Structure 1
């Protein structure tokens, strides 16, 4: 004997679960209900607009800088090992390496304003500045941070630039009159270059502004980039 029991509410309507002799529904039935629930509530999978208190505080994702760190570690380890070997060789009564003796002699004899000394100092400064920039900047410029869903404060998401460009390009080609389009997405600006083979250019540009503006909003990015649209005729046509 089974009787309907109201369970969870989906899409504003109660869902009935069958109970047989006091036992819950079979796993296969629960799985079927779950699949029906996902197919029926497609609105839950659409991009969620930012909350009223969302001020874009979520910053960019930070890179671990594995490649620069590994290269620097290998360089320092190789230099330290070579220097340690040379010092141990000198302590053992053998002559030092020719390159170290030559370098010491050059540093002792060349003035500070020598071209090679200045070039080496400039290279060392540039390398230091590069390492400092890598240390204080987030990196991962290809990832665009997305707004967090309400109630999911511990979950962060990002959208790849290529995926954002593909979405916006698909929207642009749906505009009447657009023959081809090129989209470039940056953190602060979306640059669109379109070719229109019919309709007035101002009308096509206006429709692109509307369609792509809606598309940028639906991407759900923390920092909404500005939109720049240029429309021209195909080559050889006025």
Structure 2
């Protein structure tokens, strides 16, 4: 909200500056604002207060930009018969562990690495025995089924599966 207000104020100031520079007559508020800035000294209380407020807003916006927020959480499906507003989330690392366990249950896989993102699940697996094409199909089905049914995510991610023959 603060950023929207700042953008709106900056846009109005920019529009008025361009409007007057293109030869149009300045509006009354612009004339008064420029006169106030031209006549007030830099150590005036109002100028220092405005600078302090601008610095505090800038610092607040920087802190908000650097906080992680809810990026590490995946929203879960809410049952249709829930009595009121409900919100449930699952940590990405927990989802990755559950999907890795599902991948390791596929016969022939010796190692699996899972990375869960907002829209996609990346699964890389090493196959010790069996045909890699068959294992890839079964692994894709297992990850899709686990992601859709067991995790109960609001937006089930799309699996991206890469299978390779185990180096040993």
Structures share a fold, TM > 0.5?
yes
Aligned to 1:112: none
Residues in 1 aligned to 2:93 and 2:152: alpha-carbon distance in whole angstroms = 15
SS in 2 for 1:194: strand
**Structure in which a larger fraction of residues adopt helix:** 2
Aligned to 1:18: none
Aligned to 1:150: 80
Query: Which of residues 124, 130, 148 is equivalent to 1:199?
Result: 130
Write the mapping of 1:148-227 to structure 2, written as runs, cut at 5 A.
148-152=78-82, 153-218=84-149, 219-227=151-159
Residues in 2 aligned to 1:217 and 1:130: alpha-carbon distance in whole angstroms = 39
Residues in 1 aligned to 2:60 and 2:106: alpha-carbon distance in whole angstroms = 44
Given the two structures, how large is their TM-score scaled by the length of structure 1? 0.42
Number of residue pairs matched by the alignment: 112
List gaps (5 residues or longer) in structure 1: 1-126
Structure whose CA Rg is larger: 1
Given the two structures, how large is their TM-score scaled by the length of structure 2? 0.59
Q: Alpha-carbon deviation of 1:129? A: 9.2
Q: Alpha-carbon deviation of 1:171? A: 0.7
1:109-144 per-position Cα deviation (integer Å, ceiling 9, x unaligned): xxxxxxxxxxxxxxxxxx949926826x98221111
List gaps (5 residues or longer) in structure 2: 1-56
Q: Alpha-carbon deviation of 1:225? A: 1.1
- After superposition, the Cα gap between the structure-2 partners of 1:182 and 1:138, relative to the gap in structure 1 and judged at 3 Å, is closer
SS in 2 for 1:168: helix
Matched, 1:140 2:70: yes
Pairwise CA RMSD of aligned residues? 2.9
| Greater than 6 Å deviation, 4+ residue runs | none
